[in-house]
Amino acid sequence: MSLTNLSDSGTDGHCILCSSTAWTLVVRAEDMEYSCKPGPFDLVACVRCGHVYKHPMPPAEEVPSLYPNTYYTVNKRSPLYLDGALYERKLVKDAAKLRKQTRGLNIRSIVDIGGGDIQRLIKVKEAFGRDVEAIAFDLQFEQEWIDKAQSHGVRVVVGNVETDIESLQDNGHDLIVMRQLLEHLRDPGVAVRNVFRKLRAGGVVIIDTPNRGGLDYWIWKKKFWGGYHIPRHFHLFTLHSLTQLMKDAGFHIYDQGYLPSLGFWVMSLRNQLGLNSAQRGKSIWEFLYFKNIPLSVGFILFDWIRIKLGFQSSNQFIIGQKRV
């Protein structure tokens, strides 16, 4: 695609929330983090409702090429890679919080969709009690994860939440977890409708996804905001638009709110400073990475205080319930 073909508005889009085709440009940028392929790539806003989405939407078969083997979830050299005792503590804390958020519900079967290395689901299973059914659902599983799953009584199921979810039972599960996944999907509307079908009456889904509204968003929204994650985030919600998506799928809103957004503070700063996410280089700014504990704790505390004061952060959660 040559630069001369790129325009700042058009009528060939598709808004998943209101079906309008008219759009205006929000941000146009290269893949600053991994240089997975030449850009530029566009995120656009629906002219009618403001929903932000990738345009053009890549075909399904192109999506895997956006995740190189340097991607932070699978690359130990990435400044965003998380493991070790601190990461484990975070997973334990998140699982305890989830248990608290779903107190009073009868949880017998849990599905974690897109949970990656299943460590998260193991901690959730431990928090909810060992006799609860735990299913990891993802596009693929490395043998190491399958072995780990077996030794922790976790079942692995291969599928795709948008196109191939039938290996999960209809009306079969009480808690479905989808953290930092919705924004990576081509059609989050289809995904939440599929999830609705798989829940038992009374069951809930918890979704975390970026929110266009934190202080970091306002500082870097012209180009460098980490939440854009160009070209891998296909849909960016606000609390309002996420609520609408869930209600359209049939969900009752059980709970919602904001969460600290450490990742986007660090990624925005790194983008601004020209540091990539594939590996730590020699720049004096390379102290900006996840395992810098004072820095990470500082950003988390800062967002947490702002949330308590009634401000938004760039990370949100919603719990949708399938009513009896």
Rule CB under 5 A: which residues touch Zn ion?
Answer: 15, 17-18, 20, 46, 48-49, 51
CA 1 vs CA 202, 213, 231: distances in Å:
49, 32, 15
Nearer to Zn ion, 46 or 127 (CB): 46
CB-wise, 22 or 96, nearer to Zn ion?
22
For residues 123 and 152, give the distance between their C-alpha atoms in angstroms, rounded to a whole number: 10
Between 49 and 190, name the residue whose CB sits nearer to Zn ion. 49
- Minimum CB separation from Zn ion for residue 193, in Å? 18
Do 37 and 65 form a contact (C-beta atoms < 8 A)?
A: yes
Whose Cβ is closer to Zn ion: residue 56's or residue 257's? 56
Sheet holding 252-259, edge to edge: 155-158, 133-138, 109-113, 173-179, 199-210, 315-321, 252-259
CB of 26 to Zn ion, least distance (A): 13
Which stretch of DSSP H or E encloses residue 90? helix 84-101
Task: Give every CB contact of residue 131 below 8 A, 6+ residues apart in sequence.
Answer: none
Question: In whole angstroms, how close is the CB of 89 to Zn ion at the nearest point?
Answer: 40
CB of 260: closest distance to Zn ion in angstroms? 29
State the minimum distance, in angstroms, from the CB of residue 242 to Zn ion. Answer: 13
* Closer by beta carbon to Zn ion, 176 or else 245: 245
Name the strand (E) or helix (H) holding 319: strand 315-321
Q: Which residues contact 232 (CB under 8 A, 6 or more apart)?
A: 66, 67, 184
What is the C-alpha separation between 232 and 81, in angstroms, rounded? Answer: 17
Which residue number, 15 or 288, has a Cβ lying nearer to Zn ion?
15
Q: How far is the CB of 98 from Zn ion (least distance, A)?
A: 31
